[in-house]
């Protein structure tokens, strides 16, 4: 009898527990994360959040919708300027002169007069800090020979980077039919900038400066990206606004050896745009860690070849390889496939092959490999001597 009562009581107790817990909402961890991500951008029409060394997308909203980029266009303009400087096409010490066309630009300017000359570095600062349209045209004419040719260079570079939704019509971003980009493409341009031309950030992080400082036409430059002043680690990149574009920003933050890039396009105000940019960046900083797998110039393999000098040489990887993981997640299996052309070794430290890196079976990177040493073809006597040494070593 007691056993029967116990069974009945147990069944009633289990039923009560089940009924109670059926009314309690216990959200899963993944659901909470998804809800948090969904609230990152509610005002901006398009947005994306990425880690620039892996190109991993953390969050996106309408990231492939084509929209007016406004002055975020100048990210590409700055990239081409810096590449022209590195190639020696122009120097930051050069004096560049404003054409009548450059002086006629509307919007944000430093009010260059026709024929006015200014040091190229000061013109660049006016773009990076103050978003000067007239300075952008001065560089376009100096580097491309004409604005039209410079715009072709911009579009070619965009394709090279992997931008598929971008068409530039000018170097400054003022409204023009067909001048369009996407949040994803702007993030790719931002990643290209920080990965290949980080020196640009030395300018975009400046909050205020001057041009024509020692003249009666002293002009105060104030950064259009207020986050560089008020948020630790924000050091770029470019704001944008027109009636057609709304409030736009491609921003980057570097903190705790982690860098992230966030883009908002079509915001209703500068305040909400900045808030949503920071919501994305703070989410990335608090949720993710970047794990390094290979460091740039790390030796991948060592080989011997008596036909070259030195006969023993090292093959290195030419870039960092990272993996983005949520905090607390452990690294999984990493495998590689090396493809090295031993028959056509370079003699100028150039590319000698590639290496595919797989993370947990998925291809995450294909990186170039190069020879660390400067190789030279070995002469007949050198080859004979290396072979003789091998014979002597074997015979011992």
Q: Name the active-site residue from 45, 61, 126, 131.
A: 131
Q: Name the active-site residue from 46, 61, 71, 238.
A: 71
Quick one: 285 and 336 in the same domain? no
Active site (annotated) includes residue 131: yes
Quick one: 316 and 281 in the same domain? no
Angle at 235 between CA 69 and CA 155, to 5 degrees: 35
Quick one: 361 and 346 in the same domain? yes
* Domain count within the chain: 2
Check which CATH number belongs to the domain holding 273 and give it: 3.40.710.10
- Inter-residue long-range contacts of 102-105, CB under 8 Å, 24+ positions, other chains counted: 102/134, 102/135, 102/137, 102/138, 102/141, 103/134, 105/133, 105/134, 105/136, 105/137, 105/172, 105/174
Q: Which of 150, 152, 149 is nearest to 136 (CA)?
A: 150
Q: Which of 289, 320, 342 is the last residue of a domain?
A: 289
- For residue range 323-371, list pLDDT tens digits in order: 999 999 999 999 999 998 877 776 666 788 999 999 999 999 999 999 8
Quick one: 259 and 300 in the same domain? no
229, 259 in Cβ contact below 8 A?
A: no
- Phi, psi (degrees; rounded to nearest 5) at 66: -85, 125
Quick one: 329 and 303 in the same domain? yes
- For residue range 155-177, list pLDDT tens digits in order: 999 999 999 999 999 999 999 99
Q: Which of 234, 264, 289 is the last residue of a domain?
A: 289
Active site (annotated) includes residue 351: no
Quick one: 236 and 307 in the same domain? no
The pLDDT of residue 11 = 47
The stretch 108-135 carries a mean pLDDT of: 98
236, 204 in Cβ contact below 8 A?
A: yes
The residue range of the domain holding 163 is 46-289
Q: Name the active-site residue from 45, 46, 61, 74.
A: 74
From residue 150, give the alpha-carbon distance in Å to each of 20, 139, 350.
69, 9, 29
Percent of the chain with pLDDT over 70: 83
Active site (annotated) includes residue 71: yes
- For residue range 292-324, list pLDDT tens digits in order: 999 999 999 888 876 666 778 889 999 999 999
Read off the pTM: 0.84
Assigned domain for 385 exists: yes
């Amino acid at each position: 009898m007691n056993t029967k009562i116990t069974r009945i009581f147990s069944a009633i107790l289990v039923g009560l527990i089940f009924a109670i817990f059926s009314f309690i909402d216990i959200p899963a961890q993944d659901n909470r994360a998804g809800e948090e991500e969904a609230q990152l951008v509610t005002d901006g029409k398009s947005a994306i959040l990425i880690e620039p060394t892996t190109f991993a997308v953390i969050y996106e909203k309408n990231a492939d919708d084509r929209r007016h980029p406004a002055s975020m266009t100048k990210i590409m303009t700055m990239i081409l300027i810096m590449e022209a400087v590195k190639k020696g096409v122009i120097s930051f010490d050069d004096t560049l002169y404003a054409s009548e066309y450059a002086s006629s630009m509307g919007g944000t300017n430093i009010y260059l007069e026709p024929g006015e000359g200014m040091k190229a570095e000061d013109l660049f600062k006016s773009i990076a800090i103050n978003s000067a349209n007239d300075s952008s045209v001065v560089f376009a004419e100096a580097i491309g020979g004409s604005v039209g040719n410079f715009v072709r260079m911009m579009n070619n570079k965009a394709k090279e980077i992997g931008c598929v939704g971008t068409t530039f019509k000018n170097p400054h971003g003022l409204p023009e039919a067909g001048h369009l980009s996407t949040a994803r493409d702007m993030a790719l341009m931002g990643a290209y900038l920080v990965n290949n031309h980080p020196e640009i950030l030395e300018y975009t992080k400046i909050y205020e400066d001057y041009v024509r400082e020692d003249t009666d036409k002293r002009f105060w430059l104030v950064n259009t990206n207020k986050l560089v002043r008020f948020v630790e680690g924000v050091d770029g990149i470019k704001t944008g606004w027109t009636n057609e574009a709304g409030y736009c920003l491609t921003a980057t933050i570097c903190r705790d050896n982690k860098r992230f890039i966030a883009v908002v396009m079509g915001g209703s105000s500068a305040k909400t745009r900045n808030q949503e940019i920071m919501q994305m960046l703070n989410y990335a900083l608090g949720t993710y860690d970047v794990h390094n797998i290979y460091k740039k110039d790390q030796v991948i393999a060592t080989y011997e070849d008596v036909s070259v000098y030195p006969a023993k040489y090292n093959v290195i990887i030419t870039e960092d390889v990272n993996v983005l993981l949520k905090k607390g997640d452990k690294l999984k299996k990493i495998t590689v496939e090396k493809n090295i052309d031993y028959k056509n070794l370079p003699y100028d430290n150039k590319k000698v092959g590639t290496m595919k890196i797989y993370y947990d079976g998925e291809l995450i990177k294909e990186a170039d490999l190069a020879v660390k040493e400067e190789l030279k073809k070995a002469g007949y006597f050198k080859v004979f001597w290396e072979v003789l040494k091998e014979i002597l070593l074997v015979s011992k």
